[in-house]
Structure 1
Amino acid sequence: MNHKHFYLIFFLFTAFVLAQTPDIIPLSKKVGLTVDAEENVYYRIFNDIDGFFSAQFYEVGKNKIVVQIVFVDFSQKSVRRRSMSLEEFIDLKHHVDVQPVITDNDRESIRENLTYLTTISIIESIPDDQYIIIEHRTGKKVRGSVLGIEDRLISLQTPISVETIPIWDMASLTYRKEIRELPKIKGFLYAVSALGGVILAEVWNEQTRPRIDLIWHFRFIGTVLGTLFGAETYQAVNIISSPKTFFALTPEEMDKLKN
């Protein structure tokens, strides 16, 4: 194959690939080809996306638009795609066009509050009774179960006391964003725990030699206690096997939470 044929094939291949790539279309002259985080807040475009980073609109058909949304989830960038009709895209475009142009001062003000809003949202989403680890600015780590979050104060039940920590004094927070369910091992854990309860009851019966009616009574009690222990064990396994989420902010960012 000579150079001319090579370049011809390369050109045709490149043209084919480009032809298959959807065109990026601007939502509005006020935001350009890419909607950034400040524009999203200012124009109220995707209010339902937490940690919004950017968005681009692609025309994939005659009347179909796909939005590629990049969002930050605990320091990790993720991508979400949405489909919308041409009519919905035009409505969203009009929504942006009728609003004033975003200024540099607007951007700076929004940028200062983005971290604050995200932090508050994340902390308030942590359910009560979840076990978390808080690292204080001083380096001290506090481990305990969440009792409640009120007025930007987190109350934790530690093994020896109840501690209340202002969120602006945190250097980092470790918790489990979601507790996964493992239904495949549920029956196994319940059965093993119930069997363990029966075995303990039998050991007790051998040691005490009670009447026949008490023997069955202790077996029943052992089965019930074993089943209850199985429920607690199953919940503990679900929690332990769930991935941990680490969330940290700089001292400057946390200082903004005092106000």
Structure 2
Amino acid sequence: MDYTITAVDRALALLETVAEHPGVGLSELARLTGSTKTLAFRMAATLEARGYLMKDAETRGYTIGHKPLLLSEKMQHQMPLLRVANPVLDDLVARTRENVSLLVRDGLQTVCIGIRQSPQPIRLYAELGRQGPLHVGGGPKLLLAYAPESVQEEVAAGALDRFTPETITDPVRLRALLGKIRSQGYNVSHGDQDAGAFSIAAPLRDHQGRVVASLSVAGPQSRLTDDLERLYVRMLLDAAGEVSSRLGWREAAA
């Protein structure tokens, strides 16, 4: 049985569209959402009144309002995964002095739900809420490796965009790498998403053993030695095991 409320679904789709197209005008917003201009205006006006959207007085374009930020702040305190993982993120950034990220999979993309920025002046770009593809990067490829086979096949059959010369765009090579990631239980990426960068990731599991997130350390390749890479792998596996244990996973039982 479908319990979807069409009006709510349309309003949320409009909100997501504005997030992806900041400054979008009403006519374009109606086109992007497949709504009439009148319906788009009414939904936007309602979301604006509730603080979810803002309208520029001069350009008449829409951007995200303050209310999603408030919800995000509350989520940081209420979401069990974040409550458990936050102290571990703090510890890892203090020990590695590199970016530490917590990613989850949302369909065919990843979303950063937790980030600790490197305190060093030269560091990688990272942003809370940032979305990205599944076939590049330490955390994303790890999440893809543990995703349902149908998701892996859909990604492999789709457009594997090239970000750097190291990006894997061959579906056969990608599938082989995903098998290797599952076999070793972690992922190390070198420059396949950002040139001159590394990313090392380990899986976080829930009480049923399902991989629900990736925990990663990332930074400039110039700072990574072979010894540090091995150290970061051990640190991440230990940290991921600690978070997974607090989420109810028991490795022996699995």
TM-score of the aligned structures, taking structure 2 as reference length? 0.24
More strand by share: 1
| Structure number, greater radius of gyration | 1
TM-score of the aligned structures, taking structure 1 as reference length? 0.23
